[in-house]
Amino acid sequence: MRRIYEEYLDGKSYQAIARGLMRDKIKTVTGGDTWWDSSITLILTNEKYYGALLQQKTVTVDFLTHKRIRNKGQEQQYLIEDNHEPIVSKEIFDAVQKEKERRAKLKGSVMRESKRYSSKYALSSKVYCGCCGAIFKRRTWNSNNPSKKVVWQCKTYVNEGKAACDAKSVDEQVLHSAFVRLFNRMYENKERLIKTLKANIESALSSRVGQEPLLDIEGQMQQLKSDLKELVNLKLRNQMDETVYDEETARLSNELNELRQQKLILEQEEDQKAKIKERVDEIIQLLNSRQDILEQFDDYLFNALVEKITILSPAHFVFTLKSGMSIDEIIEDQ
């Protein structure tokens, strides 16, 4: 349990902690072999691990059947501190709760940013300008007459004018048709495409850093933590000058933080490769499940396959699939 708390404070995700526990063949609380994200979350939020006891977590709602439900404010709860021997200190438990709150706020900020341009339209937040990199916005021209037309325009062009970005608008139906042609080419050549996708993912997985660099970093971190503890002991025994103690503590803490960042980067790279493999598997499954080519634009297929579209010109688009593969779609007659 201490390991879970320490690794979370070291910057690991729930998934990374769970993978490490299973890799080291550490059993769950119930003696099982599989650790889930939810298991890690429960451990990190359970007050019993710092020696407290929260009473009345559940309440009885039916005295005949003795049915109990989670207490979400129906009854008063009582927290008894120092109820039993703690596994982690109160300080570490509180530090974990603050870190969870920090990550939640960060994730919320990222989600809000990613959803800023989201809407009911399939193309929303997926069309980008090849000139300036800004997102394309959906606009309706001549909305009150029969010549109404829906187009997508660069946000920079709309807000700042042609001097800032001279990207041309693109008809929504042109983008829809471009995806239909793209998908049909993929479907008609699916055996070759699937072979390429599998080869790409095998190449990506073969370039994995493996466990050695991570284990090496973890070993260095453990040594630094031991050195920091030794510094504290020397200070408590009055065997170290105050100035030297402060300098050494700062140096070791900086080195520890640098290693934490390196470790986080390596873990994120591994997580990214695992996610790409999942996306490739989904694309292969989707192609194999289709019985025929597309006749018209399909929102579901588009969202399942396409990460983004980059508009290089009104007649040249680059579709980036969720596997990371990019495919050009050029309209010859424009």
170 neighbors 152 (Cβ within 8 angstroms): yes
- DSSP three-state, residue 258: helix
Residue 187 lies in a domain: yes
**C-alpha distances out from residue 294 to 33, 299, 332, Å:** 44, 12, 20
Closest CA to 56 of 71, 46, 68: 71
Closest CA to 151 of 135, 137, 162, 165: 137
Q: For the stretch 229-267, what's the b/e string if a residue is b when 16 or more beta carbons lie within 10 angstroms of its beta carbon?
A: eebeeebeeeebeeeeeeebeeebeeebeebbebbbebb
At residue 72, the pLDDT reads: 67
Quick check: pTM over 0.85? Answer: no
The answer to whether residue 24 sits within a structural domain is no
Give every CB contact of residue 182 below 8 A, 6+ residues apart in sequence. 319, 327, 329
Residue 106 belongs to some domain of the structure: no
Q: How far apart are CA 309 and CA 329, in angstroms?
A: 10
Number of domains composing the chain: 1
Which amino acid is it at 321? L
Does residue 49 belong to any structural domain of this protein? no
Strand, coil or helix: what is 209? coil
76 Cβ neighbours under 8 A, 6+ residues apart: 56
> Edge-to-edge, what's the strand order for the sheet holding 326-330?
127-129, 306-313, 316-321, 326-330
pLDDT at 150: 92
DSSP secondary structure code for residue 87 in this structure:
S
Cα separations in angstroms, 218 against 2, 20, 43, 114, 130: 15, 12, 22, 33, 42
| Cβ–Cβ under 8 Å, residues 166 and 157 | yes
pLDDT at 151: 94
**Residue 128 · residue 40 · CB < 8 Å:** no
Per-residue pLDDT tens, the chain, 334 aa: give them: 889 999 888 888 888 898 889 888 898 877 778 888 778 888 898 888 888 877 766 666 665 665 666 666 667 776 777 778 888 898 899 999 988 888 777 666 444 444 443 446 889 889 999 999 999 999 998 767 777 889 999 999 999 999 999 999 999 999 999 999 999 999 999 889 888 888 877 776 665 555 678 788 888 999 999 999 999 899 888 888 889 999 999 999 999 888 888 888 777 777 777 777 777 888 888 888 888 888 999 988 898 889 999 999 999 999 999 888 899 999 876 5
Q: Which residue range forms the structural domain that includes residue 182? A: 127-205+280-330
* 131 within domain boundaries: yes
Rounded to whole angstroms, the Cα distance separating 217 from 263 reads 7
**Given the structure tokens 């390596």, which residue do they identify?**
266
